[in-house]
Amino acid sequence: MDWQLSPSAQKVQAVLQALGFANVVVEHRQTTRTSAEAAQAVGCAVGQIAKSLVFRGQRSGQPVLVIASGANRVDEKKIAAWLGEKVDKPDADFVRARTGFAIGGVPPVGHVEPIPTLIDPDLLQYDLIWAAAGTPNAVFQLTPAELVAMTGGRLVAVAQGQP
């Protein structure tokens, strides 16, 4: 792009570099908030979008980051089974407080606190995927192996219909 990255996108770029990854954050003029919008912006299949969803344990208040294929709907019961308690979808203030980013731009890395991360194994079928990079307009391309390595996430069947 022909302009400087926004502060949140710059933060993600800096975190990627600090972790030793060469991935490049790209900020678009159009929104990439939804999986469909992101896929259209970068010219890929919706399934190649690694959407970041934050859930909260109902009892503990613990955040959990789920990175799912943009083609899949997440099954909250599967997340609850992994976490050991029911989960809910927190409000925007909770997401920003626990990740440092707004809903629609939560990246897989660079959060204000460590957050357990679950990764949809359906993302492994793609050579390249795209993840949010700090704003509803910023993304970066990576491989599924890089996603697992940079997040320390666990592969867990989180989608509806997955065994």
With respect to residue 121, please indicate whether it lies within any of the assigned structural domains.
yes
Identify the domain containing residue 127 by its residue range.
7-155
Are β-strands 138-142 and 25-27 bridged in parallel, bridged antiparallel, or unpaired?
antiparallel
In tens, the pLDDT along 72-128 reads 999 999 999 999 999 999 999 999 999 999 999 999 999 999 999 999 999 999 999
pLDDT higher than threshold 80 for residue 149 = yes
What pLDDT score does 3 carry? 62
Residue 161 lies in a domain: no
Q: What is the band of 152 on the pLDDT scale with cuts at 50, 70, 90?
A: very high
DSSP letter for 47, please. G
Q: What is the mean pLDDT of residues 129-142?
A: 95
User: Would you say residue 160 lies in a domain?
Assistant: no
Q: Which pLDDT belongs to residue 1?
A: 41
Q: Which positions ≥6 away from 139 have C-beta within 8 Å?
A: 25, 26, 28, 32, 38, 41, 42, 130, 131, 132, 133
pLDDT classification of 50: cutoffs 50, 70, 90: very high
- Asked whether residue 138 is assigned to any structural domain, the reply reads yes
pTM: 0.93
- Domain membership of residue 163 (yes or no) is no
Residue 1 lies in a domain: no
pLDDT of residue 133: 96
pLDDT of residue 2: 44
- Please indicate, yes or no, if residue 29 is contained in any of the structural domains: yes
Question: Does residue 84 lie in a domain region?
Answer: yes
The predicted-structure confidence for 2-46, as pLDDT tens digits, reads as follows 468 999 999 999 999 999 999 999 998 888 888 998 899 899 999
Query: What's the CATH code of the domain at 45?
Result: 3.90.960.10
Name the strand (E) or helix (H) holding 118: strand 117-119
Q: pLDDT confidence of 61, banded at 50, 70, 90?
A: very high
- Confidence class for position 138, pLDDT limits 50, 70, 90: very high
For residues 133-149, average pLDDT: 96
What's the pLDDT band for 163 if we cut at 50, 70, 90? confident
Q: How many domains does the chain have?
A: 1
